Amino acid sequence: MDFKRFLINFLSSFLIVLKRSVGLISDPYKTMRKISMERDSYQLFIIAGLIFVYFKFIYFLRDKIYPATFIYLIFVADFLTMVGFFYLMTKFIGSRKNKKEISFISFIFTFAYSLLPTLIWFLSTSVLYVFLPPPRTFSLLGKGFSIFFVTYSLSLFIWKLILIYLALRFSSKQNFFRIIYMIIFFLIWFIPYSVFLYQFKFFRIPFV
Amino acid sequence: MKNINFRMKQKMNEVFSIEPNDLGTGYLTSFFKKTTSYLKTMPFIYVIPFTFFISIFMYFVLGRFLIKLVTILQYGF
């Protein structure tokens, strides 16, 4: 009976994740506002599970220096550090009324959903690595593919920026300038940290 | 009727959960609101042509470096 209830909850959460993912493409503002009020923890496990499956998949394509689970744990630590940083920043710069309104779980949900463009880009790049392995050539097809790939990557990057901004807007409830300050403060420590991750061959491009 | 009122109240709370953005000057605020209104629904309609134009521009400016950049990015996962 308990397993039946778990299965129903899991499947309904899975459908909500799908609906929200489509919503983030077609209607990011309204969807992110709804996500910031979400409290269904199954959705977080589904997103975390999808990312875990991705790390298991790319283990076979990478140099196999570190186990996939270890890389996944580094990602989880990075994610929680990033979310914790923005949460504490909001606590630090927010007004007294604002401090009562914000919740850590809202940050977790919005940032978890903002991983969607990252997951799509990393997954599609790894699949392309199999079917169209680099290096790219200077032929007409090579140039055409390069323009397509840059367009695709930039589009997902802009989508990611929109989602990160909305995640911060609805979780922290701060105005535009304060959100930009928070992102600048985040980049001050995150860029050197990304170089560290690259040097130790954990990630070439950080998965955030 | 009670249910409709409850849902209406819930929706109002959702919509007014954050204060509107104010960038200091009226011109900046209205420019910001106009620009972001295009990104609130179906942003890809504007984003994809914009990034395609940027990519073509980058190809003409960077030339072969763009192709090398794509090779590096393809190893980036």
Highest mean pLDDT among A72-76, B8-12, B18-22, B65-69: A72-76
Q: Is the dihedral of CA A65, A70, A71, A74 positive or negative?
A: negative
Average pLDDT over residues A156-176: 96
| pLDDT tens digit sequence for A136-159 | 888 999 999 999 999 999 999 999
Residue of B17, B19, B66 lying closest to A146 (CB–CB): B66
Contact B74 A136 (CB under 8 A): yes
What number is the ipTM of this complex?
0.89
Contact B67 A136 (CB under 8 A): yes
Q: Which helix (H) or strand (E) holds B20?
A: none
Distance CA A112, CA B50 (A): 27
Q: What is the mean pLDDT of chain A?
A: 93
User: What pLDDT is recorded for position B2?
Assistant: 67
| pLDDT tens digit sequence for A3-61 | 899 999 999 999 999 999 999 999 999 999 999 999 999 999 999 999 999 999 999 88
User: What pLDDT is recorded for position B23?
Assistant: 87
Average pLDDT over residues A85-110: 87
Q: Is A149 on the interface with B (CB under 8 A)?
A: yes
Residue of B48, B67, B75 lying closest to A143 (CB–CB): B67
Find, among A112, A142, A130, A144, the residue nearest to A57 by Cα: A130
All residues of chain A having their beta carbon less than 8 Å from the beta carbon of residue B17 are 33, 36-37, 170, 173
Distance CA A92, CA A106 (A): 17
